[in-house]
Amino acid sequence: QVHLQESGPGLVKPSETLSLTCTVSGSSISNDNHYWGWIRQPPGKDLEWIGSFYYGGSTDYNPSLKSRVSISVDTSKNHFSLRLSSVTAEDTAVYFCASDRSISWFYYWGQGYLVTVSS
């Protein structure tokens, strides 16, 4: 059973960079055939995919966020990270990490982590 846990600062100032980590247990990012991703949900609003990757393969990003987003992996810690630069209040959201063996949906989800952008 794959378990995902998001962590990071819950408060980020406008114009700064949001950084979150998703720690994975029950699966190895580098050895298991899973796709890994980030999705966010502003309070009371819809789900928005941020980006996904397959270890050893490509990383895809939401075109609307691509210029500000990067996803990286630390296999020694079995976690992957999200960086979103130049944040504004519109980036306030619950951020989820998720995964699946399929490229096209997500079965495993973290519990979500609220990040607020405010001075």
Partner 1 sequence: ESVLTQSPGTLSASPGDRATLSCRASQSVSNTYLAWYQQKPGQAPRLLIYGASHRASGIPDRFSGSGSGTEFTLTISRLEPEDFAVYYCQQYVSSVFTFGPGTKVDIK
- In the structure encoding, which two tokens stand for residue 101, read together? 């063996």
Q: How far apart are CA 2 and CA 99, in angstroms?
A: 8
Q: Is 48 near partner 1 (CB under 8 A)?
A: yes
Longest dimension (CA), the chain: 41
Q: Which of 91, 110, 115, 117 binds partner 1 (CB under 8 A)?
A: 110
Instruction: Determine whether 55 is exposed, middle or buried from the number of CB atoms within 10 Å of its CB (0-12, 13-18, 19+).
Output: middle
Residue 23 near residue 31, CB atoms below 8 Å: no
State the residue for tokens 């063996």: 101
Q: Is 52 near partner 1 (CB under 8 A)?
A: yes
- In the structure encoding, which two tokens stand for residue 85, read together? 């630069």
Based on CB atoms, which residue is closest to partner 1, 8 or 16? 8
Q: How far is the CB of 115 from partner 1 (least distance, A)?
A: 15
> Which of the stretches 23-31, 58-66, 71-79, 83-91 binds partner 1 when contact is defined by CB under 8 A?
58-66
> Which of the stretches 10-18, 19-27, 79-87, 108-116 binds partner 1 when contact is defined by CB under 8 A?
108-116
Q: Is 111 near partner 1 (CB under 8 A)?
A: yes
Where do contacts with partner 1 occur on this chain (CB under 8 A)?
37, 39, 46-49, 52, 60, 62-63, 96, 98, 100, 102-107, 109-112
